[in-house]
Amino acid sequence: MNITDRFFKYVSFTTTSDENTSMTPSTPGQMIFAKFLAEEFKQIGLQQVELDHNGYIMATLPANSTKKIPTIGFIAHLDTSPDMSGKNVKPRIINNYNGEDILLNAEKLIVLDTDTYPEILQYKGQDIIVTDGTTLLGADDKAGIAAIVTAMEYLLAHPQIEHGTIRIGITPDEEIGQGADHFDVQKFAAQWAYTIDGGEIGELEYENFNAAGAKVHFKGINVHPGYAKHKMVNSMRIANQFITMLPRHEAPEHTEGYEGFYHLTAISGDVEKTTLSYIIRDHDRDRFERRKKEMQHIVNKINEEFGDDTAILELKDQYYNMREKIEQVMHIIDLATEAMEQSGVEPKVKPIRGGTDGARLSFEGLPCPNIFAGGHNFHSRFEYLPVKSMEKAMETIVKITEIIAKK
């Protein structure tokens, strides 16, 4: 099966994750897809294929060399983001893209326009996979899985390519920050690994945000509005005051590169009780800690004005910047860079403005930088995937295994 057909098959599975189910995997579609993949792994010739009750798959491509070659791994995730529907995905290929706006859905007048998404123009003349505008595509991370599986199939079909033992790991629930929760690093038994979960062709990432999640609960008092003077306390208005007390321009829509932010992700409430949900992000650990202290400082000011326990902050760290772990083993970045160059890809080393399973795994003893899978506009109806980019991700995986064996 070629990589494009494989990708089309993968996106036919509905694998949207859900942080509210308290299950692993969080949705049944992920386990259905995992069972399919486990069988495919066996069919192409991988060994030690194991699927556990949490939806984690591990498999092995045994070494074909007697040399002492490090065991490495490649990791991708089953789920797609709950930010956009991933049900009944209808992908299609725009052959020899002409550089014009793409009408995704004539009935709903949904257009992928080049003014809003000028990055697509660099793929003029290439074949591009798009959606019908009603769902995301799922290149995050089914393009990564397709690249890994196709690379393993290629190595099995070309035994003259010398390589060491290669471990494959597929995780559930990465999109809701739980992908590494039940990943057994000791059992995986690799010296290092790469997640194939990045964006555009050439991306190579070993820096990510430090991340925390926050919920701020506001307590109010409801009284009939006709008799509310000096009695009513409207929790929604207090919550709004809290929002305005955070730095206005330290939000995702105003930041880039290494700039951190506070991101309000959800509001729910009434007069009696309101809850704000935030994520806090910063590449710099000191600034990250200051951001968390600032949240508590504003909560304290709210309580000084409206009374104790009017506002209560729940704060939980989610993951940290893997740079402090990867810097100790920079040869794994050099290897990936060399592999890209040998595959005809220009490496683009850049920080992730997000997170990855590899961040948590790096802190658990498995150094794990992130390599491109090829997609753009993840989590969106405007997601697209240049076919050549996915093919180059596959070639990069093969080259990494070759270079390690030679060195």
Active site residues: 79, 174
Q: Helix, strand, or coil here: 237?
A: helix
What distance in Å separates the CA atoms of residue 319 and residue 341, rounded to the nearest whole number?
A: 31
**Token pair belonging to 296:** 């508590």
What distance in Å separates the CA atoms of residue 374 and residue 393, rounded to the nearest whole number?
A: 7
Phi (first) and psi of residue 299, to 5 degrees: -60, -45
What distance in Å separates the CA atoms of residue 256 and residue 116, rounded to the nearest whole number?
A: 17
Strand partners, 118: none
Gyration radius from the chain CA atoms: 23
Residue with tokens 């409801």: 222
Contact 352, 209 (CB under 8 A): yes
CA angle 141-86-269, nearest 5°? 110
**Among residues 340, 394, 400, which one has the least CA distance to residue 2?**
394
What distance in Å separates the CA atoms of residue 214 and residue 155, rounded to the nearest whole number?
A: 45
Contact 371, 347 (CB under 8 A): no
What distance in Å separates the CA atoms of residue 162 and residue 222, rounded to the nearest whole number?
A: 72
At 392, which amino acid appears? K
CA 281 to chain centroid: 15
